[in-house]
A and B are shown apart, each in its own frame.
Chain A
């Protein structure tokens, strides 16, 4: 009690980030679960290759096509590789592809969208029609086309996924910026001597982050699916690299003969990852919104 009376009145009114994080999780248990799953995914991505019991590429780690057992938790595939090790190791590649793709489309989409929302006029017209053009294609087919044309590599999957996601970020940034374009604090920023670009990226853009966070996390799940989908049809990541999409594709050949574990486990991993990112969106938004920090 006495210690609290000693603390000066200048104690910061803001809660610490940790306190805030705890509050957000307590308020919505789903957010807590999604954060836990997210941390699990990150650990798998970073440490997975050092933790797994078998080399994911080593053929003959055990007898071929064995169902799940104590030695091989998720069973083995047709070359005798350990499915569990492969599923865990694949996390890094899948997350890497989706994170870089989403980061690229977030950065470029926000820039294009913010500029067209703020300046309007012909900037808006050109950016708008460019985005419409991208949206006019069935997006997965467009991604296929880009990878097929540019060459089969992990980088090209990233670029293709980034390009097809661009319009979502651009449109959102445009809408969020244009509703704030003439807000009082923006006028005040102009009076404070900020140049137009500083007003846009220093004052307006940070205020669009909360809704953008939701978009990012939803989009992450989608990007993982997209990357896996490309691999599934044989574009992008090539075997024997462990990747959830290829594993599902390879396993699909065996499902008729009853070897279900080849498809189910990588499929589950894919589903859980997408699920995590979809859930985490609201939590992330609450985290970056200062108004939630009372």
Chain B
């Protein structure tokens, strides 16, 4: 076996917090050999990021390495001085973070930022830094690198920014690249482009990579070896192909199940123990009369006729019937969020009609819709469960809010009873009701958000990427909850997402949007199997899939 370039032995990191000392990672051992890509996979709180921070020695003040050894090409990183470590960071080991915009200095030209790193590590002099920086920008496939040298981060898209971050990380030809969720928050097609770029460059420079991700599909597609972490411990470590074919530990199996595959249905995502208990998927009932009819919807930003007038949504028409789920899919900037805001009556339309339960609601100004009788029938589940809850309000108060405002007939005790009933409906333990959002887990917050949305028995629920901010196992549970609620409460869904794979789990029909227009529309199955347009095909091709698993004996539910 080759000598590992990075060797971590029994690494333990403790954090000092208000509640005492918390062990973030416990006796984690890993190694990376030259040219290899190691994937660290785990859900939030598993310690995967802390592991990489400890290797880079960028833990914050509360965190301390209490035990273990980190050896990087013969050097003991756990022992060396901060001044030497500063030399190693960037030149020997580099890191890419999740949010590229936050990683770049917003008021410095991107080319200068690349040049800075080169000068810092004596890889370039003032004279040739510019030239070398442009070369690096070209290497990460920035078109017009000479011109873009002078661009500021805000002028670039998220994918472009991530390329710049990669350029900075690789500028000094480090031996090891640590990529911490490098594509979270990017569209699938951008994700593919960025990941392909990382793979291409690391192969060209013969570098090793550690890819930290929560997405098993992504890890499977790009890593040689995988390490699964849970609660600060290593669960399992194996070559990717082996791990996917024959996972040894229960946690790995559960994680693999929860990652949506092309052929899985929403029940398959649940852990085996719950899978047996869950009710079989209800037969889809034939859709009833139309609930929502959108016709020739348009939305323009800026002054009409002026140069920066921009049509975010152009001539959009679709119908949702009672009990039906419609998926609205597209990349960021395609106008899907604008559409949802207009349908939700949070945004006034430029032109067009929105007919909801027989009434044209597009003509009602957004500011007056709050007190409209139809408000309660048209609700929404937001993308980020943390951001969508008032940080100063307890879960109970958040769920109660719509009842208080829109169900005038209810008294205080009736409202409390209804909140408890709703908590039961979404599976939120009632003793959590008096907690604040920051005291709840992501899944619990999502449940609070859903309870609030269904409090008034809505007819149509808009789901705006309701699981994008959640771990896969929580996503599995939330998706199942949404599926069950739909049948129990007879709601229709408009599911907005960039991830076709998740959308098709819940939706009967799918609309694919690009630049404010519908490019393809049809039955979910048909679109997934026989996409008609190139755009849909590219969306589908970009989704990283975990390799198909040999079907287990217990997959009776699928048949």
Most buried by A among B344, B401, B449: B401
Q: Is the CB of B382 within 8 A of A184?
A: yes
A2 interface hit (Cβ, 8 Å): no
Tell me the interface secondary structure of chain A in the complex.
helix
Contacts A23-B18, A193-B371; A187 near B438 (Cβ below 8 A): no
Contact of B438 among A192, A195, A207, A291 (CB under 8 A): A291
Q: Is the CB of A185 within 8 A of B370?
A: no
**Once the chains are docked, how many angstroms separate the CA of A290 from the CA of B401?**
19
Instruction: Give chain A residues whose Cβ lies under 8 Å from the Cβ of B438.
Output: 290-291, 294
A149 interface hit (Cβ, 8 Å): no
**Once the chains are docked, how many angstroms separate the CA of A56 from the CA of B389?**
55
Instruction: Give chain B residues whose Cβ lies under 8 Å from the Cβ of A23.
Output: 18
A22 interface hit (Cβ, 8 Å): no
Q: How large is the interface on B (under 10, 10 to 19, 20 to 34, 35 or more residues)?
A: 35 or more
Contacts A13-B434, A293-B436; A193 near B402 (Cβ below 8 A): yes
A188 interface hit (Cβ, 8 Å): yes
Q: Is the CB of A192 within 8 A of B406?
A: yes
With CB as the reference atom, state the residue of chain A lying closest to B405.
Answer: A193
**Once the chains are docked, how many angstroms separate the CA of A153 from the CA of B434?**
49
The smallest C-beta distance from B403 to any residue of chain A, in angstroms, reads: 9
A55 interface hit (Cβ, 8 Å): no
- Give residues 1-30 of B contacting A (CB, 8 Å): 18-19
Query: Could you say which of B66-74, B372-380, B520-528, B547-555 contacts chain A?
Result: B372-380
Q: Is the CB of B370 within 8 A of A190?
A: yes
Contacts A184-B384, A185-B389, A294-B439; A194 near B405 (Cβ below 8 A): yes
**Once the chains are docked, how many angstroms separate the CA of A12 from the CA of B439?**
12
Interface flags, A68-104, vs B, CB<8A=1, else 0? 0000000000000000000000000000000000000
B346 interface hit (Cβ, 8 Å): yes
Q: Is the CB of B452 within 8 A of A9?
A: no
Instruction: Give chain B residues whose Cβ lies under 8 Å from the Cβ of A9.
Output: 431
With CB as the reference atom, state the residue of chain A lying closest to B440.
Answer: A13
A179 interface hit (Cβ, 8 Å): no
Instruction: Give chain A residues whose Cβ lies under 8 Å from the Cβ of B289.
Output: none
The smallest C-beta distance from B341 to any residue of chain A, in angstroms, reads: 8
Instruction: Give chain B residues whose Cβ lies under 8 Å from the Cβ of A14.
Output: 434-436
Interface size on A, residues (CB 8 A): 29
Q: Is the CB of B390 within 8 A of A203?
A: yes
The smallest C-beta distance from A10 to any residue of chain B, in angstroms, reads: 4
The smallest C-beta distance from B429 to any residue of chain A, in angstroms, reads: 9
The smallest C-beta distance from B544 to any residue of chain A, in angstroms, reads: 28
Q: Is the CB of B391 within 8 A of A294?
A: no
Instruction: Give chain B residues whose Cβ lies under 8 Å from the Cβ of A193.
Output: 370-371, 375-376, 402, 405-406
A52 interface hit (Cβ, 8 Å): no
**Once the chains are docked, how many angstroms separate the CA of A290 from the CA of B439?**
10
Instruction: Give chain A residues whose Cβ lies under 8 Å from the Cβ of B241.
Output: none
**Once the chains are docked, how many angstroms separate the CA of A290 from the CA of B402?**
22
B430 interface hit (Cβ, 8 Å): yes
A183 interface hit (Cβ, 8 Å): yes
B388 interface hit (Cβ, 8 Å): yes
Q: Is the CB of B387 within 8 A of A207?
A: no
- Give residues 375-422 of B contacting A (CB, 8 Å): 375-376, 379-380, 382-384, 387-392, 398, 401-402, 405-406
**Once the chains are docked, how many angstroms separate the CA of A183 from the CA of B380?**
14
Instruction: Give chain B residues whose Cβ lies under 8 Å from the Cβ of A192.
Output: 401-402, 405-406, 452
Q: Is the CB of B430 within 8 A of A188?
A: no
B367 interface hit (Cβ, 8 Å): yes
Q: Is the CB of A185 within 8 A of B439?
A: no
**Once the chains are docked, how many angstroms separate the CA of A194 from the CA of B344?**
14
Instruction: Give chain A residues whose Cβ lies under 8 Å from the Cβ of B449.
Output: 188
**Once the chains are docked, how many angstroms separate the CA of A282 from the CA of B432?**
29
The smallest C-beta distance from A17 to any residue of chain B, in angstroms, reads: 14
**Once the chains are docked, how many angstroms separate the CA of A196 from the CA of B376?**
17
With CB as the reference atom, state the residue of chain A lying closest to B408.
Answer: A193
Q: Is the CB of A191 within 8 A of B387?
A: no
Instruction: Give chain A residues whose Cβ lies under 8 Å from the Cβ of B379.
Output: 191
Q: Can you give 6 contacting A-B residue pairs, CB < 8 Å?
A: A10-B430, A13-B435, A184-B382, A192-B406, A193-B405, A203-B390
What is the interface of chain B, defined by CB distance below 8 A to chain A?
A: 18-19, 344, 346, 367, 370-371, 375-376, 379-380, 382-384, 387-392, 398, 401-402, 405-406, 430-432, 434-436, 438-439, 449, 452-453
What is the interface of chain A, defined by CB distance below 8 A to chain B?
A: 9-14, 23, 27, 183-185, 187-196, 198, 203, 206-207, 290-291, 293-294
